[in-house]
Amino acid sequence: MITVQGVVDRVGPTLLRIVAPQDPTPQVSDVIIAEAGKRTQIATGDLVLGIAVSSTAEAVELVRHSGAHAAAAVLLKPPHASRSAVKTAAQRGGTTVVEVHSGAAWAQLVWLLRSVLDAAADESDSSGAVTDAGPFGDLFRLADAAAAVIDAPVTIEDANSRVLAYSARQDRTDPARVSTIMGRRVPDDVLARFRSRGVFRELSRGRTTIFVPAQRDGTLPRLIVPIRMGGELLGSMWAVVPGPVPDARAAAFADTAPVVALHLLRRRAREDSERRRTAELVRSALQGTGSARLLAAELDLAPDTAHRVVAIDVQTDDALGGEGARLALVQRLTDGIGRRPAVADMHGVLYAVVPDQPGDTGWTEVRAALAASSGALVAAGSPVDVADLARSRTEADEALSLLRAGLVEGPVAVHDDVWAVLVLHRAAVAAAGVTAFGPLAALRAADEESDGWYVDTLYEWLRHPGDPRAAAAALRIHPNTLRYRMSRVTAALDADLTEPDVRLALLTQLVAIRWA
């Protein structure tokens, strides 16, 4: 439950002001509208909106009737709310009177009030569960409410300039706003223009409202209100206005921000809860301990479609060990890339389960988007059934290790494409103990006493049997130089290179040295 004072505080002092308080402050349970010429059914704790009140006598009668039924408060517009007769009736009936700003639209005020009550109900839920706000908590309706206050089309955006909701009347805006809504985020060129004018710097400084004049490219003026809660910038509201806005109307627009902030926090809590649940399911599947049937059902994975596990290593030097970059990448992955991949973070690596299908709903789009992400190494396992995701994850980890070691070119490595390198890598790991014996030690010693080309020359010669030009090209030397060097190698190596087993053994040793 929330008190009348709490409602007024959250909606804002510009829109609402208590003119006849009661002690103790009443608890609010619902919002109702008093109909003209009728005895409205009022229950304990109701906020009664005097929409049809047209005279002081009607206001006094509504206050008396509301007090008789233990209403929490009566909301009236000036001048009726401040009349002495109304205050006296309120005092006798034990009802609070709240004055509504004369410029506020009743219909939009209803949405704001009910949104505050919905948010308060969620906060007081003893189970701790985050419930759906319902139609009155919808951000699009809040955008409409804010647009009515400022009398201009409005967008609600998060801290990363993604559009969460927008009001009606967007046809009265400019191309920049149209592009923003169509793409559900502010286009990069538009962001750059606002950033160059210091808009985002002002947002971070705690300004209540920010006015941006019209620009030469035809972009209309903006009135921007930051959305904060507890000192944290959650997002902002952007109104496309015809010009400078009067202080009173700008303040009224700013007063809608706390209500929007409540909904953004509830939205974040709901999303965080869903992401934690998703991450737990994904981790169990990648470790081979979870139920494939439960995973497919919970994460909406098509059972007849193969999926890849994608491992993403965010390369960053920030003090948090890449935590901020990983969170930003998770947000991007789950907000609009492909078919909303299931994502989990394990040991500092992000893993995504992605449908292996062409087009814009699966691995094809995710691969293109991740390849464009600077500072990220991306490795994908082979496509498998949902029940076999642990194998795809092992393959992704192997491919990622090749990227980290620089054994394959990045930033994306797919198991299907790098299998030959993986075979050599596994063979090198298995053969790590075979390099200590045989004639190779003498050749490595010759390397230490010369310019260090003995081992490299033999390696490329063995890799390109019967093709000295290819071997020379790999070493970036002339074929005649290769022949000269091989004569030196043969002299230093106490082995018969005409024997196939000797060549295979030496190549195995060299692979173990180079790839392990």
Evaluate whether residue 57 is within a structural domain. yes
How far is Cα 235 from Cα 260, in angstroms, rounded to an integer? 9
**Segment holding 379, helix H or strand E:** strand 376-380
pLDDT at residue 156 in the model = 93
Task: Indicate which CATH number applies to the domain containing 361.
Answer: 3.30.70.270
| DSSP H helices in 383-467 | 389-405, 419-430, 440-449, 454-463
Picking from 98, 81, 108, 124, the residue whose alpha carbon sits closest to that of residue 7 is 98
Question: Is the pLDDT score of 335 beyond 60?
Answer: no
> Are 355 and 396 contained in the same domain?
yes
Tell me, yes or no, whether 279 lies in a domain: no
Q: How far apart are CA 452 and CA 446, in angstroms?
A: 8
**Nearest of 119, 132, 117 to residue 31 by alpha carbon:** 117
Element housing 511 (H / E) = helix 500-515
More confident: 293 or 457: 457
Per-residue confidence band for 315, with pLDDT thresholds at 50, 70 and 90: low
Query: Are 298 and 415 in the same domain?
Result: yes
Query: Do 225 and 296 share a domain, yes or no?
Result: no
434 vs 92 pLDDT, higher one: 92
Beta-strand relationship, 232-240 and 2-3: unpaired
pLDDT in tens, 33-52: 887 667 778 889 999 999 88
Per-residue pLDDT tens over the stretch 127-179: 443 344 443 346 888 888 888 888 899 999 988 888 888 888 887 788 888 88
Give the span between the Cα atoms of 380 and 377, in whole angstroms: 10
For 408, which DSSP code? S
Percent of the chain with pLDDT over 70: 86
Residue 30, domain CATH: 3.40.1390.20
Residue 8's φ and ψ, nearest 5 degrees, are -60, -40
Residue 113 near residue 11, CB atoms below 8 Å: yes
Residue 372 to residue 217: CA distance in whole angstroms: 29
| Domain that residue 504 falls in | 431-515
Residue at which a domain ends, from 255, 270, 304: 255
Which token pair is 178? 């149209």
In a domain, 205, yes or no: yes
CB atoms within 10 A of CB 157: 22
- What are the backbone dihedrals phi and psi of residue 429, each rounded to the nearest 5 degrees, phi first? -65, -45
Most confident of 54-68, 201-215, 500-514: 54-68
98: Cα within 13 Å, side-chain hemisphere: 30
347-370 per-position pLDDT tens digit: 878 888 888 876 555 788 778 777
pLDDT of res. 359? 56
pLDDT at 64 over 90: yes
| Same domain? 412 vs 296 | yes
SS3 362: coil
pTM for this entry? 0.48
Q: Is residue 29 part of a domain?
A: yes
pLDDT > 80? residue 246? yes
pLDDT in tens, 72-105: 999 999 999 999 999 999 999 999 999 998 877 7
What stretches of 94-137 adopt beta strand conformation (E)? Answer: 96-100
Beta-bridge partners for 345: 350
The tokens describing 72, both together, are: 């929490």
97-101, 325-329, 451-455, range with the lowest pLDDT: 325-329
- What does the pLDDT read at residue 37? 64
- Tokens in use for 183? 């793409």
Asked whether 141 and 247 are in contact (CB, 8 A), the reply is no
- How many independent structural domains does the chain possess? 4
AA letter at 73:
A
Q: 239 pLDDT exceeds 90?
A: yes
Question: How many Å apart are CA 40 and CA 159, to the nearest integer?
Answer: 43
Q: How many CB atoms lie within 10 A of CB 276?
A: 11
CA dist., res. 50 & res. 63, Å (int)? 9
Q: Which two tokens stand for residue 211?
A: 């006015």
Whole-Å CA distances, 402 to 380, 406, 407: 12, 6, 5
- What is the per-residue pLDDT for 146? 87
Averaged pLDDT for residues 102-121: 76
Examine the pLDDT at 290 and tell me if it is beyond 50: yes
388 and 480: one domain?
Answer: no
Residue where a domain terminates, one of 93, 123, 153: 123
Lowest mean pLDDT among 37-41, 172-176, 314-318, 464-468: 314-318
Query: How is residue 385 written in tokens?
Result: 């059934």
- At 243 the pLDDT is 92
* Res. 491: pLDDT tops 50: yes
Residue pLDDT, tens place only, 190-202 = 888 898 888 888 8
Q: Residue 331: what pLDDT?
A: 60
- pLDDT tens for each residue of 401-412: 888 888 888 788
Are the beta carbons of 66 and 95 closer than 8 angstroms? Answer: yes
Residues above pLDDT 90, as percent of the chain: 26
Q: Within a domain: residue 278?
A: no
- Cα 464 to Cα 68, 155, 317, 474: the distances in Å are 99, 63, 40, 9
Residues 321 and 249 in one domain: no
**Domain shared by 244 and 156, yes or no:** yes
Chain position carrying tokens 């944290």: 232
Kindly state whether residues 152 and 238 are assigned to the same domain. Answer: yes
- The enclosing domain of 490 has a CATH number of 1.10.10.2840
Evaluate whether residue 184 is within a structural domain. Answer: yes
Residues 246, 161 within the same domain: yes
**Is residue 109 over pLDDT 70?**
yes
Within a domain: 281 = no
14 and 119 fall within a common domain: yes
| Domain presence at residue 117 | yes
Residue 326: the pLDDT is: 59
- pLDDT score, position 136: 35
Q: Which of 401, 420, 439 is the last residue of a domain?
A: 420
- The answer to whether residues 178 and 297 belong to one domain is no
Backbone angles phi, psi at 9, to 5 degrees: -65, -40
Shared domain check, 508 and 475: yes
Bridge partner residues of 31 (DSSP): 47
- Amino acid identity, residue 224? I
Does 511 score more than 50 pLDDT?
Answer: yes
CATH code assigned at 244: 3.30.450.40
Tell me if 210 sits within 8 A of 203, measured CB to CB. Answer: yes
